[in-house]
Structure 1
């Protein structure tokens, strides 16, 4: 007599960018066993394109674009066991209030899960309190879990929902130790911000390639021109590269980070989460100090890692070696099996699902604690202070018609033009 395995819970994932979709869908798989959740993409400036979704390489049972109100309505009409919010902090807070309103009459509501897509190096208190109210707030490392609990307890908020796990995309085979593999420079959309700094980094990557003609240097890009990711990219490296004469062994590269790391001999970055992916595989990882060690760059998060170094040192042949104790505290599974990093999250979700009824969502921010802050956050998503839809709020949950699609693409193009062309000019004028 065969014993059938229990069905995994039904899961919905709402994401607002390509990287957050990757985090949300893979998190759902790790903590619930649902390999293909129902996917929802929050309509906005960073809504991923079909190409970006293909590059992420995560499958969904279904995938559609929604507004915040459209998602809230969909959650009221469809029975899910777990809902994962893979959004910026303001989006999470708005959806917590919207879903709280929508589920107020529900006999049994879903378990609500959220977290961060990568290294948390700025706006710790702000981002965390905007995520409070979810049943589970995932922390990607031991350090993060301790910091998250301290923030919640510091304001008198419940910290029971903070659960330590790891980034869900730390996977792949260990490095082969091939010193002839490519050097991968993982760029970031918003770090550094200044054009001169980004040009400097690109020039140094090209210089490294010239000094080592037998080695490939890949400048790993996040998005193609016209696309947006989690952060706005005002100075795309593709555009900057046109002003440089890159050597033949230095080229711009798209593609899945995991595939590129399969053959890499060195990962170079300013502060990208790709550093943790590389460290997990045992790929030597360099976090650049050329522009200083500054909170604005995020490389301060790697203090004590053993990875901080400069292009000069790399040109001379230096290979950084990460400190194992530091790596373990940052969620890089060097001291235990990777899958066990998600055990606590699985147990927390299973315990919540086993309850006959869950209490209403209870965020820290209310009209009593933040009357001058919360209404504005909710209004940006067309929600009233009590979480109900504002009059006239868009709520369609299906893809827009052809005319609306054309108008929306034109609007996004105008927005990108303003960000990438007009805004930098205005800033330069302001500096005169």
Structure 2
């Protein structure tokens, strides 16, 4: 008899924004035991993982363009409420569940899943982690993620910090698993392009005020004027009207429209990896794009113009060799990253990236083959009685993780009227953040 076809690994990814969908979907492809979804051929496609995407309904639900930009094909994709997702996890069969959410969302889903899977001898392996650089709310974010089977750390430094936090509060630290950022890749930098291309990777929330954002934009445009032989690009995360992890009060598109930019300056969108294919110098305040760039050995600068501050996140790059100012860049400065720093950040520019997820795959394979213990988050009604109930209530869950009466859960796809109302509500929210809130803030400063 011919050998039976191996049963494909079934993975569910729950994400609440475009960047977290990117992290979750790409992580799923890399951590699944067996052939990778990114490397499968027609002969082994049946054995590759089967990916089901769930988008948590909210203000940051990604658009089709944002989903397509990730480049990972999902076998199914649907928008859900928390209650709908939890119900799907009890009614449908999965091997791995990836929670690509903010910390509070992860904690709520862990308690909801623990409630829904009570009494099961076997359950899916639950995985969570961080989208990029962890430069704030380390203890808060980590303890909200405690309880997953694997808490992924994107670098050796993060793995050490994560374990120290868990052990420091008496929580089990065995879930911490060192990997790397799942979206690193692309061809190594081999020399200058024609024209020489400078890319500024903008961030939705850093810096967070008009003065600083205008300053950075003016300096970028000044660099374009100073070096007319160069192409100077402003890489933006989302197009006008799209939502991302953070709603921008002051989109760079709006600020740029008021400035007289030279012909060699322009705005670009799309996949960061494709932009890096033609980049000779990547400039940012603290974007994770810096790690993508360093992975490919592209010259990378983290700006010091606004100071080196925790609120900006550029303090994470102290010791990297990448800190510099626009004045230095205008004069032709070329950064030299510190090899030891780079090695500790999970950038793996040394060619070992292919093995960075081996430990996670091995742990998951072992958990899939054995009865799983119940999920046991550090936060419980006993350890955090004044904190946990509020987190769960925001997702319409009771203190024990059970859905509260009246929790939103539709049994069918929203009709045309509901879709129109939902889009209008999101538009109103965005208008309030980008237009009304700044006006109120300015009035308060009078």
| TM-score computed with the length of structure 2 as normaliser | 0.94
Structure 2 counterparts to residues 301-380 of structure 1, below 5 A: 301-355=316-370, 357-380=371-394
For 2:75, the equivalent position in structure 1 comes to: 61
1:385 matches 2:393 = no
How many Å apart are 1:52 and its aligned residue?
1.2
What secondary structure does 2:188 align onto?
Answer: coil
Equivalent of residue 295 in structure 2, options 280, 289, 302: 280
What residue is the counterpart of 2:15 in the other structure? 15
**Cα distance between partner residues in 1 of 2:411 and 2:440:** 37
Matched ranges for 1:225-244 at <5 A: 225-244=240-259
- Kindly provide the CA deviation profile for residues 327-357 of structure 1, in whole angstroms up to 9, marking residues without a partner as x: 11000113451011111111111111111x1
What is the aligned counterpart of 1:138 among 145, 152, 165? 152
Task: Tell me the distance in 2 between the aligned counterparts of 1:408 and 1:294.
Answer: 38
1:246 aligns to what? 261
Counterparts in 2 of 1:262 and 1:397: CA distance versus 1, 3 Å: farther
SS of the aligned residue for 1:383 comes to: coil
In 2: Cα distance, 1:394 partner to 1:43 partner = 10
SS at match of 2:186: coil
User: Secondary structure of 1:37's partner?
Assistant: strand
* Post-superposition offset of 1:5: 7.4
Asked if the contact 2:14–2:100 (Cα under 8 Å) also holds between the matched residues in 1, the reply is: yes
Judged with a 3 Å threshold, the aligned counterparts in structure 2 of structure 1 residues 29 and 422 are, in CA distance, closer, same or farther, namely same
Q: Is the 8 A contact 2:18 2:66 kept in 1?
A: yes
Give 1:399 deviation, angstroms.
3.0
State the distance in 2 between where 1:324 and 1:2 align: 51
Q: How far 1:431 moved relative to its partner?
A: 1.9
> Which residue number corresponds to residue 166 of structure 2?
152
Q: Deviations over 1:125-144 (max 9, x none)?
A: 00000000100000000000
Q: Aligned pair in 2 of structure 1 residues 46, 22: CA closer, same or farther (>3 Å)?
A: same
Paired with 1:293 and 1:367, the residues of 2 have a C-alpha distance of 39
Say how many residue pairs are matched. 431
Q: Residues 428 and 9 of structure 1: is their aligned pair in 2 closer, same or farther, counting only changes over 3 Å?
A: same
| CA displacement at 1:6 relative to structure 2 | 4.1
Is contact 1:65–1:397 with CA below 8 Å preserved after alignment? no
Among candidates 409, 412, 416, match of residue 423 of structure 2:
409
Q: Once the two structures are superposed, what CA deviation does each residue of 1:191-240 show, in whole Å capped at 9, x if it has no partner?
A: 00011100110111111111111111110000112212112211100111
Indicate the residue corresponding to 2:108 in structure 1: 94
Per-residue CA deviations over 1:340-396 (Å, capped at 9, x if unaligned) read 1111111111111111x1111000000001101101101111111100000000122
Match of 1:114 in 2: 128
Distance 1:402 1:211 in 2: 52
Normalised to the residue count of structure 1, the TM-score between the two structures is: 0.97
TM-fit CA distance, 1:398: 4.5
Aligned to 2:433: 419
Q: CA RMSD in A?
A: 1.4
- Shift, 1:106, TM fit: 2.1
Indicate how the Cα distance of structure 1 residues 398 and 288 shifts in structure 2: closer, same or farther if over 3 A, else same: farther
In structure 2, relative to structure 1, the CA distance for the partners of 1:185 and 1:5 (3 Å cut) is farther
C-alpha distance in structure 2 between counterparts of 1:34 and 1:71, whole Å? 25
